[in-house]
A and B are shown apart, each in its own frame.
Chain A
Amino acid sequence: DTEVTQTPKHLVMGMTNKKSLKCEQHMGHRAMYWYKQKAKKPPELMFVYSYEKLSINESVPSRFSPECPNSSLLNLHLHALQPEDSALYLCASRQGFGYTFGSGTRLTVV
């Protein structure tokens, strides 16, 4: 299995909702990442997990809460988001040099 699987593919949520994004990989990669990508922009790093521990938080607002339950899973919990948080949320994993990205969750906050 050489994929990173993200669910859901699309999500529409209200500003008072709580939702979670899920990411799964079975390549044995020990580094996992959350990125946010706005239209016509490069991906923007949010969080890095290394060996299941949060190693980097790029000053992300607390309405985004990451979780790494085990070495294959990464979650991103969302609460009280703003319309400007609407974006493509990408999960990636890495072992060695190449990053493998999931297909992303396209999030719309209404």
Chain B
Amino acid sequence: GQQVMQIPQYQHVQEGEDFTTYCNSSTTLSNIQWYKQRPGGHPVFLIQLVKSGEVKKQKRLTFQFGEAKKNSSLHITATQTTDVGTYFCAGINYQLIWGAGTKLIIKP
């Protein structure tokens, strides 16, 4: 069946370092969404990307959708403790097809 692969599974960073997570689909997606889930919380919708090659920014977060609409990335610049959580991509073909998530961990 259709799959969305997301890497890495975990990323440990020092506060102030950058963070990136990548998603890759086996098939072309109509669009892709990104969610953040804080520890003990629920997924919160961040953004949807629709167009081929689209780049959107939300403050320190940059989201990209590949030209072939099969891959996407989320980049966080200068991480802060408030960024801690698991970031999920979810491709859309009728329903959400979730990536496995990338857990952002800030090193003490």
A residues contacting B by CB (< 8 A) are 40-43, 45, 48, 56, 88, 90, 97-104
CB–CB B48/A97 < 8 A = yes
A56 & B95 in contact (Cβ 8 Å cutoff): yes
B100 on the A face (CB < 8 A): yes
Q: Which residues of B contact A100 (CB under 8 A)?
A: 45
Would B31 and A42 count as touching, CB distance under 8 A? no
| B101 and A42 contacting across the interface, CB-CB below 8 Å | yes
Residue of A nearest to B31 (CB): A97
Indicate the size class of the contact surface on chain B. Answer: 10 to 19
A103 touches B42 (CB 8 A): yes
Q: How many angstroms from the CA of A98 to the CA of B48 in the assembled complex?
A: 7
Give, as a whole number of angstroms, the nearest-CB distance from A3 to chain B.
Answer: 11
Given A97-B31, A98-B48, also A45-B42 (CB < 8 A): no
Query: Apart from A42-B99, A97-B48, what are 13 other A-B pairs with CB-CB below 8 Å?
Result: A40-B101, A42-B88, A42-B98, A48-B95, A90-B42, A97-B31, A97-B33, A99-B45, A100-B45, A101-B42, A101-B44, A103-B42, A104-B42
